[in-house]
Amino acid sequence: MERQPVEPVPSSRPPLGVAQAEAPAADGASVAGAGDRSHPLGQAGAPAAAASSASASATASHLGEPERVQPPVYAALDLGTNNCRLLVAVPTRPGQFRVVDAFSRIVRLGEGLGRTGRLAGPAMDRAIAALGICAQKLSARTVAGARLIATEACRAAANGEEFIERVKRETGLELEIVSRETEARLAVSGCGSLVDRTAEGAVLFDIGGGSTEIALLDLRGGSSRRLSNHIVAWTSLPVGVVSLAESHGGRDVGPELFEAMIEEVVERIARFPARGRLDELVGGPGFHLLGTSGTVTTLAGVHLGLERYDRRQVDGLWLSEAEVTELVGRIAGWSFEERVANPCIGSDRADLVLAGCAILEAIRRVWPARTLRVADRGLREGLLTEMMVADGVWRRPLPARPPLRPKVPA
């Protein structure tokens, strides 16, 4: 199905369509002004900015000047096992876009899924409430294209499709349950610009709530703008921070339990037949890890000693092997109350962060690296990039403000 433009509709029930076709993968897009996780409701100034723009346009028209054409608006929504996230952006310079609105809320849609195989009623209610806010935000704009996806929780749940229908009825949003392969590719598309261009190889991973996507990148032939062309192997582990914490416990985690978590994930990776495709590079100077998830951004925030999470300081940060080892050991040694007290973890993540650290440690054991780069970007950025590339917005000049008409003497 071809992606359709999204028209503004009444906020009570906006029937927003979503892409079904796979846009060609594109990588290297960078983000300007992406929403900080510490502001879950996005940028409060966006409506005022829109009003100001409309006022300026009306004034220009009244003065006889050509009306300025606004750049197209794109929206990407990612409903995961743990979070509901929305990003709204406009293209700027080639390969870049500017975020004009954002939303993020922890909904724990996959809570209890590992035990029952179904999405629980309270979890679905939390997700519906968050999606309702997203629908209102989207209905307030003229959106050129939108893609709204659901991942592991809806893939795995026996009532996943039923929930998707409920979302459509109650919010008007049409969510697409994407495959694990698509999810892995989107992670590469969203984070590709952070891969070291001098590297010969890298392992990119996205630790989610219900699954972990891993892509092996071979760059020995020289990197290209479409980094997904360099994926030589990928896998999706059916384990994430929520499912691992629920199966082992996330509140009181001693050394033995933490090691059991790591070993479970290592065993899952061992079933990945192509895990050795980069063996000759792993551990060497031309190889690094690139992680995108709440786990690695949390580690970065703790490393920097942030009193409040700041995406600008975290996204793109390099951590050495020794620094990662020290951070994981430090957090693993904290009590639940100490994890809650840390401003980069808090009560929402205190029972999940050690499960994430265990998954990270398993990845490091299989693919040891001297450095890890942290990405505070992922599927939403990948979705936006692919839509913009498919529409060719970076192949044509962006609208510019027309020159002022010279004054004519009276």
Domains in the chain: boundaries: 30-179, 182-379
- Given a cut of 80, whether residue 362 has pLDDT beyond it is yes
- Given a cut of 60, whether residue 19 has pLDDT beyond it is no
- Given a cut of 60, whether residue 23 has pLDDT beyond it is no
Q: What is the band of 207 on the pLDDT scale with cuts at 50, 70, 90?
A: very high
Mean confidence (pLDDT) of the chain: 82
SS3 state at 345? coil
- CA end-to-end span of the chain, whole Å? 58
Maximal C-alpha separation, the chain: 87
Considering the entire predicted model, what is its pTM? 0.76
Q: What is the band of 397 on the pLDDT scale with cuts at 50, 70, 90?
A: low
* Digit-coded pLDDT (tens) for 58-77: 444 445 555 567 889 999 99
- Mean local confidence (pLDDT), 93-105: 91
- Cβ count within 10 A of residue 385: 32
Q: What is the band of 187 on the pLDDT scale with cuts at 50, 70, 90?
A: confident
* Digit-coded pLDDT (tens) for 115-158: 899 999 999 999 999 999 999 999 999 999 999 999 999 999 99
* Digit-coded pLDDT (tens) for 212-238: 999 999 999 876 667 778 899 999 999
CATH architecture of 30-179: 2-Layer Sandwich (3.30)
pLDDT at 38: 30
CATH superfamily of 182-379: Exopolyphosphatase. Domain 2 (3.30.420.150)
pLDDT at 290: 97
- Cβ count within 10 A of residue 60: 17
pLDDT at 224: 64
* Digit-coded pLDDT (tens) for 286-341: 999 999 988 999 999 999 999 988 989 999 999 999 999 999 999 999 999 999 99
Q: Is 86 exposed, middle or buried (CB count within 10 Å of its CB: 0-12, 13-18, 19+)?
A: buried
398-405 own/partner pairs: CB under 8 Å, 24+ apart: 398/71, 398/91, 398/92, 398/93, 399/68, 399/69, 399/70, 399/71, 401/68, 402/65, 402/66, 402/68, 404/65, 405/63, 405/64, 405/65
